[in-house]
């Protein structure tokens, strides 16, 4: 019985001493780029420098891969699958029918943030 109590006491003491490491549970990895970490690596600097180009639309084809002319009075959209231009032509563009423009401003501001780094 004495040996069991001694073993439990030693095991408890060893676990108590080994668990007193400061910030033992703080093991997260920081995956966000900071200005200090970006400028240390050439590849990450190039990736960050070119990141704001990804937010730009593909030329004039932001709505259903069509020109913006059908969204004005210059042309008429005849393609049946082009549903994002119709709210402009029909005058039904509003809070409920956003014509798939929800992420447009988010993408633009992500590009502005990347460009303002430099």
Tell me the per-residue pLDDT of 53-93, one tens digit each, with 9 for 90 and over: 777 766 666 666 666 676 677 776 666 666 777 777 777 77
Residue 110 Cα distances to 3, 57, 98, angstroms: 65, 13, 20
Distance CA 70, CA 77 (A): 5
What average pLDDT is seen over the chain? 73
Q: Give the residue from 97, 104, 102, 103 showing the smallest Cα distance to 83.
A: 97
pLDDT value at residue 1: 74
CA distance 100 to 83: 9
User: Would the pLDDT of 99 be above 70?
Assistant: no
Cα–Cα distance measured from residue 27 to residue 78, given in angstroms and rounded to the nearest whole number: 57
Residue 19's pLDDT band (boundaries 50, 70, 90)?
low
């Amino acid at each position: 019985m004495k040996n069991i109590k001694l073993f439990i006491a030693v095991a408890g003491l060893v676990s108590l001493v080994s668990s007193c490491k400061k910030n033992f549970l703080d093991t997260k990895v920081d995956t966000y780029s900071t200005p200090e970490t970006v400028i240390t690596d050439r590849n990450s600097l190039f990736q960050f420098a070119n990141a704001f180009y990804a937010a730009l639309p593909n030329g004039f084809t932001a709505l259903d891969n069509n020109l913006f002319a059908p969204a004005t009075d210059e042309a008429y959209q005849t393609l049946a699958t082009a549903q994002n231009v119709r709210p402009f032509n029909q005058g039904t563009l509003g809070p409920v029918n956003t014509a798939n423009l929800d992420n447009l401003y988010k993408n633009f501001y992500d590009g502005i943030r990347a460009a303002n780094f430099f």
